[in-house]
Amino acid sequence: MKKLLCLIIISVALCNCDADDLILDGVKTKYTDENGKEATIIVKRQLDTSCQKLPITNETFWENGYANDNVPNACKSTFITSAGKTLFPMMLHPKIETVAEPEVLDFIQFMQKDPTMLLIDTRGEEWYNYRTIPGAINIHYLYIMEAENFPAEYKEALAILGIKSVNHRLDFSEAKDLLLFCNGAWCSQSPKMIRALLKMGYPPEKMKWYRGGLEDWLGFNMTTTKTKNSL
């Protein structure tokens, strides 16, 4: 019981604000913009004032393809419901934490001062450049999953992840803390990369997974960026 209380106290102490504050006030992070220049942006939920006046009722939210015709366009968007061939479970591994938007913001906030933390977009370069979560770097899942086909990219990825090769064996003693994501709960790219990393020997306790990915991120109208900074 004492150990549990200590863990709770430590967890609270790590964050200097609660989840609501992170969502509303946002978190500052740096990223590389479309012109290849470093810029600073506040990552938060984009709330239109007209949307705050909507009544929270069945008719408002679930009619006419989820949003009633009377809901202002600024308060709704369309999305594809048939993407992907499957839905992934909430947990990929007992020691890998699955996180939601507040935890992603928390991670982004702490990684500003901690170079051992990496937010990783596991999708292809074209997808990453088009739109991503601010502060994320791009490591294509295939660079890890099919290393034999991408030897140069694989070697560069290992260096970024803090993995060393010692006597032809991988050393994970300085492996970085990762938060990985892709397009959504139906997207297989981040699960495939996580499983490939596990197979390599990457410590599961050093990985987190944002299952909702870009679909959930945009569904909550969170900040995104376009970038040219990719591996």
- pLDDT interval class at 96 (50, 70, 90): very high
- Greater confidence (169 vs 44) lies with 169
Q: Considering only 10-19, 31-40, 43-52, which range has the smallest mean pLDDT? A: 10-19
pLDDT at 12 over 70: no
All domains of the chain, ordered by start, with CATH?
20-45+80-219 (3.40.250.10)
Query: In terms of Cα–Cα distance, which of 172, 159, 166, 230 is closest to 200?
Result: 172
Residue 1 has a pLDDT of 45
Residue 16 has a pLDDT of 47
pLDDT at 62 over 70: yes
- pLDDT interval class at 26 (50, 70, 90): confident
Distances (CA, A) of 88 to 130, 191, 197, 209, 212: 24, 8, 17, 11, 10
Give per-residue pLDDT as tens, 193-207.
999 999 999 999 999
pLDDT at 46 over 90: no
pLDDT at 230 over 70: no
Q: How far is Cα 164 from Cα 162, in angstroms, rounded to an integer?
A: 6
CA dihedral (154, 156, 161, 165) in degrees, to 10, reads: 80
- Work out the average pLDDT over 30-51: 84
The residue with tokens 């007992």 is 94
Q: How far is Cα 156 from Cα 218, in angstroms, rounded to an integer?
A: 30
Q: How far is Cα 138 from Cα 125, in angstroms, rounded to an integer?
A: 7
Q: Considering only 35-49, 110-124, 134-148, 209-223, which range has the smallest mean pLDDT? A: 35-49
Tokens (6 digits) for 142: 């295939």
The partner residues of 43 in beta bridges, in order of sequence, read 27
Q: How far is Cα 119 from Cα 178, in angstroms, rounded to an integer?
A: 6
Tokens (6 digits) for 75: 């308060």
- pLDDT interval class at 90 (50, 70, 90): very high
- How many Cβ atoms sit within 10 Å of the Cβ of residue 179? 24
Q: How far is Cα 148 from Cα 74, in angstroms, rounded to an integer?
A: 47
